[in-house]
Structure 1
Amino acid sequence: MTNTSQNNSVCNITVSVEEISEDSAESQLNVSMETIISNVKFDFKHCYEYRSIIKYLCLKGLTGKEIYGGMSKTLGAVCPSYATVKNWVAAFKRGKVSVKDDDKPERPISLSTPENVDAVHDMILSDPLISIKQISETLKISFERVHHIIHADFRKMNSKMLECRSTASKSGKFALLLCPFS
């Protein structure tokens, strides 16, 4: 090895090909795990260093158990778990190239848009006996979202500008009557 440089987030190991003869090629490339791992500054927040080392040792042909053994011996308490090492070794053997995490899907769009809130409010004001299921089927939004709109938004409205009282209809169902203050 001619040059080993370290950065806070990446370990660069450069090998000069001219210096390696056929006889000593294997001996020079067989660098011990402790040497590789100890030359890297590890920060627990940046796991790319661990993954880079796991990838390098995996490409050398070591098993997950051997890699974990060397890392736990060298790193001690800050070593990634055996399951983590095993999963990354499996990913690299399947052909994963990058040490970065795969992109995760973005958070789903909330259906509590002002249009949906207004539509729920209008439906309830026009028919106080309407069920949450009927509202969700009509507006094509989830039952839980309609429930959230009713309980969160009507509670705000009730406390600020509406008077609530419940009455029994002829069918025995209770209705929530929303009346503006006079």
Structure 2
Amino acid sequence: MRSKLFPYLRMDKEHFRFYIKVRTALHIEPIVIYNELYTVFVDEVPLLRTVQRWSKRFREGREEVEDEERPGRPITETTSENIEQVRDLIKDDPYATIDELEARSGLSHGTVQRIVSDHLQFKKVTARYVVKHLTNSQKAERQIDRKSSNAAWVAREDPAPTVVRRSRFAPGTLLSIFFKSTGPVLIHSVKRGQTIDRQYYINNCLKPVIDEIKNQRPSVGTRTIKLHHDN
């Protein structure tokens, strides 16, 4: 997954879990970890309950961030426990394919299909993309795009999910983020229309980040600290 705000940042699920592991070791609450990830990756982040579940596992002593291997032949039993397992996997990732659900659950391909279609009665439909900032003609026609790569599991009576897509020329959000190896130090959001000059940067970015570093390192302050700027 790539950050929408910072396209050069790429995270897969193991990277997200490692971040959760480090922040949990620093006694950071799951909701704070989730908000930190959401600030950068927006709707690409794992669900809050996923962050909470992995944080709990790491607090209980788990070390690995990878999914556990499931040895032996795939399970073919359609038990209530297996049904709930597949339901939880779909809640975590409504866009998962049958093959992905099979790999994550350890159940056979046919068992996953039976659970999804017969027991959960889910169907897979393509998400509708609606432009956030519509032109007058688009408002009249309500132009909607569909992309097969965004097919999601929904109950049979539910409509297709709608994903709001920003207009190509919609104003973005500018953030100044200062972080070190253990996580963010300061995240400053620049108000729309604000001109950033030397004095603004000093007052709203440099001074607050220096104060925060001093709070975190009261004995040594900013000694040995080097700031690397990148756009």
The two structures share one fold, judged by TM-score above 0.5: no
The normalised TM-score by structure 2 is 0.28
The normalised TM-score by structure 1 is 0.35
Q: Which has the higher strand share?
A: 2
